[in-house]
């Protein structure tokens, strides 16, 4: 088993580079590799494992559902699918949206949720342009890639839909790019892949104002920030109202599920035949998401508090920290080296760039579990 890197290279396409570890099992915020070594997971499968590994509520919901009815196609609905869509209405209602005006299209991933949002933007204003932010990330499928900024991952796949304008993340930037041809403006409330960079409040507010003025949709990509990650159900809703919100990562505790949530008119532009995919809204994934939401409901305050505690600890030992709740970017020099050292010491983190360590741990993690990480970081500074 210890030749996993060689076996991997010989059997899988080389999209991700060599795997760092071969993982075997997990519990709470910890994972164990195939050699029995334990790691504290501060990345959570890239902000996905929000309930921690093998949460009993999730395990039980999924096991029961797969043993009862695993898949149906979208010619039919199921109780978990309906309940999840209604639960999402409840969450948006609690965040200040008109719950009965909320409609969900389920997807299998974050990129797919954004594909749906892009298609809705086309229906909203046929032939219209889309504005996206520099440094923004929205996924790797061709449509989602067309609004993803990083040239190194986008350019090899051109031509892409060519109706996208990238602008700096500033009020002037988006104001200059806006006109009556714009169908939608896309942004993440915190740019996760860019290194956990919060979009300033005034940019979100200006996007709302411009979208209203020019009859465009404000589409907020909360694939990484949504569903309790920042200590709130939605990261944006204390600042601004969106027309569409996309969700994925933290929604399913590891089951592939995304959601494109439309409010008002934006939730009603798809009609029968407009869009679809075989697995979407599948009963196993929607059961996993329902159990996830049940668990997270009791954790919102915990996430906010634990995130604040961790930020203060890290700032106290001299780090600059960005982000909110348990989505944090720590400024370091030579991030890859730091991450390699942390892995040796039993901590999984990731490095969206050479200046940032990103933390997006399971939301069940406690300050006590995080203390050894703070100690190691103090040594890293020294
Ligand atoms: C991860 C991510 C995506 C893509 O989601 P996938 O499930 O990997 O397709 C889109 N937007 C944001 C903000 C993300 O962090």
The answer to whether residues 130 and 165 belong to one domain is yes
The answer to whether residues 157 and 45 belong to one domain is no
Contacts of 102 (CB under 8 A, 6+ apart): 88, 89, 92, 93, 261, 262, 263, 267
* Secondary structure element (H or E) that encloses residue 9, with its range: helix 4-11
Angle (CA) 227-232-238 rounded to 5° is: 120
Helix (H, G, I), strand (E, B) or coil at 262: strand
Candidates 41, 92, 106, 137; catalytic one: 137
Which of ligand 1's atoms lies nearest the C-alpha of 192?
15
The answer to whether residues 19 and 75 belong to one domain is no
CA–centroid distance, residue 318 to ligand 1 (Å) = 31
| Segment 83-126, tens digit of pLDDT | 999 999 999 999 999 999 999 999 999 999 999 999 999 999 99
The answer to whether residues 184 and 101 belong to one domain is yes
Q: What is the Cα–Cα distance from 257 to 251, expressed in whole angstroms? A: 7
CA–centroid distance, residue 17 to ligand 1 (Å) = 19
| Segment 9-24, tens digit of pLDDT | 999 999 999 999 999 9
The answer to whether residues 293 and 172 belong to one domain is yes
Give yes or no: 137 in active site.
Answer: yes
Percent of the chain past pLDDT 90, that is, above it, reads 98
Helix (H, G, I), strand (E, B) or coil at 140: coil
Q: What is the Cα–Cα distance from 23 to 2, expressed in whole angstroms? A: 11
Q: What is the mean pLDDT of residues 297-305?
A: 98
The answer to whether residues 240 and 134 belong to one domain is yes
Percent of the chain past pLDDT 70, that is, above it, reads 99
Number of C-beta neighbours around residue 275 at 10 A: 18
Count how many domains the chain has. Answer: 2
Contact 120/270 with Cβ under 8 angstroms? yes
Q: What is the mean pLDDT of residues 314-336?
A: 97
Map tokens 């203060």 to a residue: 312
Beta strands at 321-324 and 30-33: parallel, antiparallel or unpaired: unpaired
Ramachandran angles phi, psi of 357, nearest 5°: -100, 125
CA–centroid distance, residue 46 to ligand 1 (Å) = 9
The answer to whether residues 154 and 270 belong to one domain is yes
Angle (CA) 60-66-68 rounded to 5° is: 100
For atom 6 of ligand 1, which residue has the closest CA? 110
Structure tokens that stand for 189 in this block: 């409330």
DSSP string computed for 219-247? EEE-TTTTTTTTSSSSSSTTT---SEEEE
Task: Look up the CATH number of the domain holding residue 109.
Answer: 3.40.640.10
DSSP assigned state of 145: H
CA–centroid distance, residue 249 to ligand 1 (Å) = 7
Contact 193/225 with Cβ under 8 angstroms? no
| pLDDT for 1 beyond 70 | no
Which of 259, 280, 297 is at the close of a domain?
297
Cis peptide before 56 (omega within 30 of 0): no
Query: What's the pLDDT at 2?
Result: 67
Give yes or no: 221 in active site.
Answer: yes
CA–centroid distance, residue 241 to ligand 1 (Å) = 21
Expressed as residue numbers, the domain containing 117 is 60-297
Average pLDDT, the chain: 97
Ligand 1 site: residues with CB under 6 angstroms?
109-111, 114, 137-139, 188, 192-193, 221, 223-224, 248-249
Which residue, among 62, 30, 52, 88, has the nearest Cα to 253 in the 3D structure? 52
Query: What's the pLDDT at 301?
Result: 98
Query: What's the pLDDT at 179?
Result: 98
The answer to whether residues 322 and 289 belong to one domain is no
| pLDDT for 381 beyond 80 | no
Which of 297, 318, 349 is at the close of a domain?
297
Candidates 106, 125, 221, 319; catalytic one: 221
* Secondary structure element (H or E) that encloses residue 103, with its range: strand 102-107
Map tokens 């907020």 to a residue: 220
| Segment 243-253, tens digit of pLDDT | 999 999 999 99
| pLDDT for 344 beyond 70 | yes
The answer to whether residues 84 and 29 belong to one domain is no
The answer to whether residues 46 and 66 belong to one domain is no
The answer to whether residues 225 and 241 belong to one domain is yes
Task: Look up the CATH number of the domain holding residue 38.
Answer: 3.90.1150.10
Which of 246, 277, 297 is at the close of a domain?
297
The answer to whether residues 88 and 175 belong to one domain is yes
Which of ligand 1's atoms lies nearest the C-alpha of 258?
7
Which of ligand 1's atoms lies nearest the C-alpha of 193?
15
Contact 265/215 with Cβ under 8 angstroms? no
Query: What's the pLDDT at 380?
Result: 80
The C-alpha torsion from 351 through 137 and 283 to 75, rounded to 10°, is -160
């Amino acid at each position: 088993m210890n030749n996993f890197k060689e076996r991997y290279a010989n059997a899988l396409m080389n999209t991700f580079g060599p795997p760092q570890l071969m993982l075997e099992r997990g519990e709470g915020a910890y994972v164990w590799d195939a050699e029995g070594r334990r790691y504290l997971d501060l990345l959570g499968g890239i902000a996905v494992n929000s309930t921690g590994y093998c949460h009993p509520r999730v395990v039980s919901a999924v096991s029961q559902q797969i043993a009862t009815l695993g898949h149906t196609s979208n010619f039919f609905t199921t109780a978990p699918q309906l309940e999840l869509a209604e639960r999402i209405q409840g969450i948006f209602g609690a965040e200040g949206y008109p719950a009965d005006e909320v409609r969900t299209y389920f997807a299998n991933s974050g990129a797919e949720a954004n594909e749906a949002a892009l298609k809705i933007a086309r229906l909203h204003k046929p032939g219209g342009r889309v504005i996206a932010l520099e440094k923004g990330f929205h996924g790797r499928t061709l449509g989602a890639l067309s609004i993803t900024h990083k040239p190194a991952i986008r350019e090899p796949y051109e031509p892409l839909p060519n109706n996208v304008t990238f602008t700096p993340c500033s009020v002037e930037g988006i104001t200059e790019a806006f006109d009556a041809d714009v169908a939608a403006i896309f942004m993440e409330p915190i740019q996760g892949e860019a290194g956990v960079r919060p979009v300033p409040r005034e940019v979100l507010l200006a996007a709302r104002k411009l979208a209203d003025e020019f009859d465009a949709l404000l589409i907020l990509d909360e694939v990484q920030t949504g569903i309790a990650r920042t200590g709130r159900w939605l990261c944006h809703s204390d600042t601004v109202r969106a027309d569409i919100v996309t969700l994925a990562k933290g929604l399913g505790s590891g089951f592939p599920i995304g959601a494109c949530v439309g409010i008002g008119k934006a939730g009603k532009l798809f009609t029968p035949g407009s869009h679809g995919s075989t697995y979407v809204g599948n009963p196993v994934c929607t059961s996993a998401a329902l159990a996830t939401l049940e668990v997270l409901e009791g954790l919102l305050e915990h996430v906010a508090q634990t995130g604040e505690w961790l930020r203060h600890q890290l700032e106290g030992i001299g780090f600059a920290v960005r982000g909110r709740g348990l989505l944090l970017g720590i400024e370091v020099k030579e991030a890859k080296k730091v991450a390699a050292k942390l892995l040796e010491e039993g901590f999984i983190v990731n490095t969206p760039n050479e200046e940032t360590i990103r933390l997006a741990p399971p939301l069940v993690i406690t300050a006590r579990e995080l203390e050894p990480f703070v100690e190691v970081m103090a040594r890293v500074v020294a």
